[in-house]
């Protein structure tokens, strides 16, 4: 298990389409474990392999974990693809571990059906809605070289990227202390007022 260094925007790797995984090997399982360790350490709820510099189509998620260390359902998605999505949209204030301290409201389908391979090499189909659906769509975007700021206006996107570039040059990049997805309705933390992830 290891905490892996994050790829921070702007970085060309975040705009690169990741390659499919041909076989679920022990190396892939170790990478998934390291990605979970990194995600929890950085207080995220989802992480794509490209965000730790590995350009393969794998992502992990746990939108239920608590700041006291209690973990929720751990999802590993290998070669995921969205089969269908609801017409009903939902607006979340999203953040991203590769965009520390930056947030933007992004509209996505409320629910999705996803096909993916799990760590046992089994091909599965699952339905997701709410926060987990948003997280899954956000991370699949990463695998396709798309980042959440691509869903907002060019002006807002350029402001965020310039801000990050300046932070990187000054060496003051620090990762957020709050939940990366917030409901548009009240912008409170999803897990309540005392939640800090």
What b/e string do you get for 54-70 counting C-beta neighbours within 10 Å, with b at 16 or more? bebbbbbbbbebeeeee
Cβ 58 vs Cβ 52: under 8 Å: no
Which residues, listed in sequence order, are joined to residue 112 by a DSSP beta bridge? 85, 128
CA–CA separation, 146 vs 15, rounded Å? Answer: 6
Question: Which entry of 94, 105, 139, 188 is annotated as an active-site residue?
Answer: 139
State the pairing for strand pair 181-183/75-85.
unpaired
CA–CA separation, 6 vs 131, rounded Å? Answer: 23
Q: What is the CA radius of gyration of the chain?
A: 16
Residue 64 falls in the annotated catalytic set: no
- Tell me whether the omega of the peptide bond preceding residue 10 falls within 30 degrees of 0, making it cis: yes
Cβ 105 vs Cβ 90: under 8 Å: no
Q: Which residues are catalytic?
A: 139
């Amino acid at each position: 298990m290891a905490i892996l260094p994050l790829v921070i925007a702007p970085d060309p790797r975040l705009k690169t389409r990741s390659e499919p995984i041909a076989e679920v090997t022990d190396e892939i399982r170790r990478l998934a474990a390291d990605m979970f360790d990194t995600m929890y350490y950085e207080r995220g709820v989802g992480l794509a392999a490209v965000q730790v510099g590995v350009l393969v189509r794998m992502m992990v998620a746990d939108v239920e974990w608590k700041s006291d260390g209690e973990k929720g359902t751990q999802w590993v998605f290998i070669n995921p693809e969205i089969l269908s999505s609801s017409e009903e949209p939902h607006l979340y204030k999203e953040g991203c571990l590769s965009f520390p301290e930056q947030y933007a409201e992004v509209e996505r389908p409320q629910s999705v059906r996803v096909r993916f391979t799990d760590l046992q090499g089994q091909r599965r189909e699952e339905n997701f809605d709410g926060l987990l659906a948003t997280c899954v769509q956000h991370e699949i975007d990463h695998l396709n070289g798309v980042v959440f700021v691509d869903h907002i206006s060019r002006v807002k996107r350029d402001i965020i990227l310039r801000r990050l570039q300046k932070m990187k040059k000054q060496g003051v990049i620090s990762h957020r202390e709050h939940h990366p997805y917030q409901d548009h309705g009240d912008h409170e933390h999803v897990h309540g007022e005392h939640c800090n992830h």
